[in-house]
Chains A and B, each alone.
Chain A
Amino acid sequence: MKIDLSVQHVTKTYADFTAVDDVSFQVETGRFFSILGPSGCGKTTLLRMIAGLSEPDSGKIEIRARDMAGIPPNRRPVNLIFQNLALFPMMDVAENIAFGLHRRGEGKAVIHKKVSAILERVDLAGFETKKIEQLSGGQKQRVAIARCLVLEPAVLLLDEPLGALDLKLREQMKVELKKLQAKVGTTFVYITHDQSEALVMSDHVAVMNQGVFQQMDTPQNLYNHPRTPFVARFVGDNNAWAGRVNSSDGKTVSIETNDGFTFQVLSDQSFQPGEPVDLFLRPEAMLIQPDEAIADLNRFEVVVKSLLFDGANSRLLVNPLKTGTELLIALPQNRQYDYVRRDDKIEVGWAKTSGLCFPKIET
């Protein structure tokens, strides 16, 4: 497979902190690659270095096997969709899209043809003479993408372009963007702090925190097998439960939580007895009133504190019996659990394969 973008040991330091710390990754041609992280994690800095808007302190960035060191942003075969889209308000749609083609010195006829072709591709045929402020949020989005795609870049960089849209449109654009990427086949590098955007659209996702890549994997693996506590917390919802290791044999770990429950978890890491750990449980990993027949479940009793109804994403907020710990439990909306009320005492169980255990980190 051909590599479109290769980032090797890139570091960028500002006066008082390291924004990007020895990051390396490669993106194959035609892939949708996302960098997911909280704001301030260094993802925008990384993207700007790829675009050439700032230079790395050390390390190498190659695009289609060409070293980009010292090449100014206007000469790089990458284009960037800005967070605020940065459409030129003084130009109409066609002028915006033609801007890059003009800079390349292409002929009038060619430009005209390319502009209408790309507009058709993003479903905006006939929008040439529209003013930017006449467009809706989603249309602006597509003009920004068309403006970059018309230049046929090796890599298209996207800096949280959906951030400004309202929820409904964002959901719709996620799907559209993925379809569009599949249609044009351009390599996308997408950065976002919204895990759902990253999971839905990407082939691969890198989770970034404090300048470092925590884990680079497919969306499924990130969700099911997070390799660091940060990823476990950041990707999807998770309950964290502090405790200590009783015993560990390299396969099964026995944990006593700080509020006195004892659970078994499968883990290929080994722990010292007495070591403080965090136990992570996904809301949907916990079964409400599990069948007595299921063996090998970690079972415990909880008091229902509150019902959080949110359609398909409904949950229960519970306290394990006689504790102040708060847990979220997924509440499937198949009417099976309609009897659950506030202050009910119910049993909860989870399989030892679905818990995750990491050494406690000071936060």
Chain B
Amino acid sequence: MNTSARAKNRNFRWGLLFFLAPVCLWLFLLIVLPHIDLLIMSFRAENDMGDMVWSLSNYRNFFEEPVYWLTYVRTAIYSVLVTFLTFCITLPLAFYITKVVCPRYQGFLTILLLMPFWVSELVRVYGWMILLRESGVVNHFLLKIGLLNQPIEMLYRDTTMVLGLVYTSMLFMVVPLISVLESLDDSLIEAAHDLGANTWSILFKIIIPHATPGIVSGSIVVFMLTLGNYLTPNLMGGKNSLWFTEQIYNQFIASFNWNQGSAFGFLLLIISSLIVWLGLTLSRQKLGKVVQ
């Protein structure tokens, strides 16, 4: 290598450093090290003498206390259910907007669709609360038209919580679905129709296989957000801490048992990674591809 090439090389490294330094600071200080710390803390506990020692007791507590692991399983199952429901609700919608409606209304409908999601989740949950609670608007109308003669409490039920979670997550499913359906060539559907396929076989043989990357990326985001959601289960799902994030919050803020909370946090991380990995494997997709 002659001098000029070396000089150029040094220049190049300079530019690299300029971009690399902030990114490394970010990823190591805010992602890697905190999570290592979280892992370490989850294996530390007070012994009988009141000293901090290495211990598995945080994890043992989790398995020995049914409330903990039942909430854990419940959270995971409900998150999968919410993801599936969200998909079922938004697929026809995305299909209608990309393929059926007159192109003139397409942009308008898309904006209309996205508008509510720019608004804070808290406001949306609050809206549902004033609609559904005992003194809420829905009850008011049902009483007025005589369907009910006694107001009923619609909040604080699992169905209501699932409704709230689906409502909160719809955007993250509908956006990838719209973009993946936009890339589906209309002529494929026309050709299938021409070859004698009916609506259902077009849906399962053409549309869903093509949309798989979008479905997977939407599902991952919806699943993650649902699993990690705190607001909606807390405000719409009752006061008895039946969502796993609430258990974590309780450990951290109410009991001030950070080590136990770290163990819970890690368990949540494990289940989320596990289910995401399972979803990716079953649909034969790659994370790096899907997030784009």
Contact = CB atoms under 8 A, between A and B. Distances in A.
B16 to A, nearest CB: 17
Contacts of A55: 2, 4-5, 8
Interface string B120-147: 0000000000000000000000000000
Interface residues of B, number: 7
**Contact count band on A:** under 10
A69 interface: yes
A107 interface: no
B7 interface: yes
Interface centre among A70, A71, A72 (most CB of B within 10 A): A70
Interface string B1-22: 0111101100100000000000
Interface string A44-58: 000000000001001
B53 to A, nearest CB: 55
Interface string A256-267: 000000000000
Nearest to A69: B4
Interface in A21-71: 55, 58, 69-71
Contacts of A71: 4
Contacts of B7: 70
A72 B8 CA distance: 8
A314 to B, nearest CB: 41
B292 to A, nearest CB: 24
A69 B8 contact: no
Nearest to B9: A55
A228 B5 CA distance: 35
Contacts of B4: 55, 69-71
Interface centre among B2, B3, B4, B5 (most CB of A within 10 A): B4
Nearest to B11: A72
A72 B5 CA distance: 10
A55 B8 CA distance: 9
Interface string A69-96: 1111000000000000000000000000
Nearest to B1: A57
Contacts of A69: 2-4
Interface string A297-308: 000000000000
Nearest to B5: A55
B23 to A, nearest CB: 26
Interface of B: 2-5, 7-8, 11
Given A55-B4, A72-B11, 9 more contacts: A55-B2, A55-B5, A55-B8, A58-B2, A69-B2, A69-B3, A70-B3, A70-B7, A71-B4
15 contacts: A55-B2, A55-B4, A55-B5, A55-B8, A58-B2, A69-B2, A69-B3, A69-B4, A70-B3, A70-B4, A70-B7, A70-B8, A71-B4, A72-B8, A72-B11
